[in-house]
């Protein structure tokens, strides 16, 4: 039920159990969904069709000498059409109001979503993945295709890696959706520190065309690479991300000089 919903993937991840969200945000989401689910009224008979029908009834009445139809039904049809359009306009406005309230809630609680909901889920996921990955490394194989005949403990660890990789992806997708509402670090336009705290310790080259060692890996492989190579995966606030950028840029960088560092 996310058709037309603001930040649908943020709520999809919550509904899938990947992380929690503030009650105020969920309430605003549910209100919008209920408003969207309200049934639209059936359209009334078109006034032009009523005129045609009444005209035919008048001719029939004259022809048979029966009572003439009430012409007031023509005005009643116009009134019904106007009311129907008013209801449609009102329902559209209801959706706009509910959508704006959800946007307001996202702006108000977006930082708390990161610090109190996504970050704990991320850290739990990362710690759990590293523990499961160690089991695979101790076994000597980490790719699922090589683990079909592995002991149950190892296969269970591989399944855990799959599940946690999926959860990790959902968490970062949710974080990306919040970026559209202003919760982003303008000092990190390429998003190097969005997921990795020690980016340039792991990928020293600062050439714009340089690709890090984890480029092109699946989520599971990405997490495995960092688990094996000392990656400090995190889910920072915009301010925390900015501090990580400044900690690794050279002292002569305009970013530091321009900000008094």
Query: Residue-wise over 1-17: b if at least 16 C-beta within 10 A, else e?
Result: eeeebbbeebbbbbeee
Query: How many domains does the chain fold into?
Result: 1
Confidence of residue 136 (pLDDT cuts 50, 70, 90): very high
251-261 mean pLDDT: 51
Q: Evaluate whether residue 125 is within a structural domain.
A: yes
Average pLDDT in the chain: 92
What pLDDT score does 249 carry? 72
Q: Evaluate whether residue 138 is within a structural domain.
A: yes
Tens of pLDDT along 237-250? 999 999 999 887 76
List the beta bridge partners of residue 233. 196
Confidence of residue 109 (pLDDT cuts 50, 70, 90): very high
Q: Evaluate whether residue 236 is within a structural domain.
A: yes
Range of the domain at 176: 120-257
Q: Evaluate whether residue 193 is within a structural domain.
A: yes
Q: Is the model's pLDDT at 258 over the cut of 70?
A: no
Q: Which residues contact 37 (CB under 8 A, 6 or more apart)?
A: 1
Q: Evaluate whether residue 30 is within a structural domain.
A: no
What pLDDT score does 260 carry? 39
Q: Evaluate whether residue 38 is within a structural domain.
A: no
Beta strands in the chain (DSSP E): none
What pLDDT score does 248 carry? 76
Tens of pLDDT along 46-84? 999 999 999 999 999 999 999 999 999 999 999 999 999
**Which of these, 229, 235, 200, lies nearest to 217 by C-alpha position?**
229
- Phi, psi of 194, rounded to the nearest 5 degrees: -65, -35
CB atoms within 10 A of CB 67: 7
Q: What is the pTM of this model?
A: 0.84
Element (H, E) at 131: helix 119-139
SS3 153: helix
Q: Evaluate whether residue 15 is within a structural domain.
A: no
């Amino acid at each position: 039920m996310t058709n037309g919903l603001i930040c649908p993937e943020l709520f999809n991840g919550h509904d899938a159990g990947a992380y929690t969200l503030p009650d105020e945000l969920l309430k605003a989401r549910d209100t919008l969904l209920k408003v969207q689910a309200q049934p639209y009224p059936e359209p009334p008979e078109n006034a032009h069709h009523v005129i045609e029908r009444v005209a035919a009834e008048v001719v029939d009445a004259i022809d048979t000498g029966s009572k003439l139809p009430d012409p007031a039904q023509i005005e009643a049809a116009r009134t019904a059409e106007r009311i129907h359009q008013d209801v449609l306009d009102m329902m559209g406005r209801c959706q706009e109001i509910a959508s704006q309230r959800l946007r307001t809630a996202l702006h108000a609680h977006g930082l708390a979503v990161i610090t109190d909901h996504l970050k704990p889920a991320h850290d739990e996921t990362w710690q759990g993945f590293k523990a499961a990955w160690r089991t695979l490394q101790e076994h000597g194989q980490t790719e699922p295709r090589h683990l079909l005949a592995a002991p149950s403990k190892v296969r269970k660890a591989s399944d855990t890696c799959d599940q946690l990789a999926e959860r990790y992806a959902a968490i970062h997708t949710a974080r990306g959706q919040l970026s559209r509402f202003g919760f982003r670090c303008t000092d990190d336009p390429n998003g190097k520190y969005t997921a990795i705290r020690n980016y340039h310790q792991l990928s020293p080259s600062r050439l714009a065309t340089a690709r890090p060692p984890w480029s092109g890996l699946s989520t599971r492989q990405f997490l495995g690479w960092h688990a094996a190579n000392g990656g400090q995966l995190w889910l920072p606030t915009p301010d925390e991300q900015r501090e990580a950028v400044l900690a690794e840029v050279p002292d002569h960088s305009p970013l530091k000089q321009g900000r008094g560092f």
